[in-house]
Amino acid sequence: MSAHIAVLTNPSAGKGRAAHASDAAIERLRAAGADVRAYAGASPEDTTRLAALALEEGPTALVVIGGDGTLSGILQVATASSVPIVFVAAGTGNDFARALGLPLEDPGDAAMLALNGRPRVVDVGEVRSGGTNRLFLTIAALGFDAKVTDRTDRLRWPRGRLRYYLALLIELVRLSPMAFRLSLDGEPERDAPGTLIAVGNTASYGGGMPICVGAEPDDGLLDVVQVQALGRLRLLRVFPRLLQGSHLTLPEVAYRRARTVTVSEPDLVVYADGERVATKECTIAVRAAALTVMVPDP
């Protein structure tokens, strides 16, 4: 019997790239003889519902086509199942695919991991806040970078990358130290004023910015990077080091690994996998070995 492969697509991901990637992936799988059953979500809620429906059918693998946010949005149902995930990255950042060495150029190659890949068990991050639990795959951002993302989402003009740069400029003008209260692995809370905190399951966010350089998605730990309170000029000087992944040696940067991180701050905004997931306070934890993903053979 041919393998039963479920293909779940978020057609709007990557400004429509996911829809084209889905066609290529399905065509490639069917040409290889797979029994493909396709699903396309019309909204995040619909995508989650369809993921659960697809998994109930007991496929050999669930192919998810979209951005990091698409996959993180179905993690509650995906981690409750033993069906491995095949991720076809078709978003704007694709940091999770980059961390696992998944094919980025050819969606057909990525989809074929359902038939010729090997399983890799990876960790999943969890943000608990206000009675809600949100799962993520890459990095939870708290502070200046999260505020820039939040500002970008709220701006209606200009379009494209210029909107991000405008948001960056606005938040740079508004820059002031954040009064973080921080606790790692149950230690007593302490004052930790700073510019930003990044809690990473993988190394990069924002399409390859290695803020948590060296983070591994299967070590059972979260990488915690804290940048101390910086003035505008110093932040502009430090920022290129963040882009290059050479910032961990700077005196203004603290780095640790932990299983749980609790942070609070009156103006706190938390983004994970590009989605707003919490405000004011949160506890970030790791769910070790929570998800199986098909990856290329070494």
Q: CA–CA separation, 159 vs 218, rounded Å?
A: 37
Q: Report residue 257 as tokens.
A: 């690994």
- pLDDT of 1 reads 54
Say yes or no to pLDDT of 57 above 70.
yes
Per-residue pLDDT tens over the stretch 113-132: 999 999 999 999 999 999 99
> 219-257: string of b/e by CB count within 10 Å (b at 16+)?
eebbbbbbbbbbeeeebeebbeebeebebbeeebbbeeb
Question: Minimal CA–CA distance to 287: which of 176, 165, 137?
Answer: 137
8 A C-beta contact, residue 72 and residue 95: no
- pLDDT of 236 reads 86
245 forms beta bridges with: none
Per-residue pLDDT tens over the stretch 234-265: 988 888 898 889 999 999 999 999 999 999 99
Q: What percent of the chain has pLDDT over 90?
A: 75
What is the reported pTM? 0.92
- pLDDT of 87 reads 98
8 A C-beta contact, residue 262 and residue 283: yes
* Residues taking part in catalysis: 275
> Which parts of 74-140 fold into alpha helices (H)?
75-78, 95-100, 107-111, 113-116
**In angstroms, how far is CA 35 from the centroid of its own chain?**
30
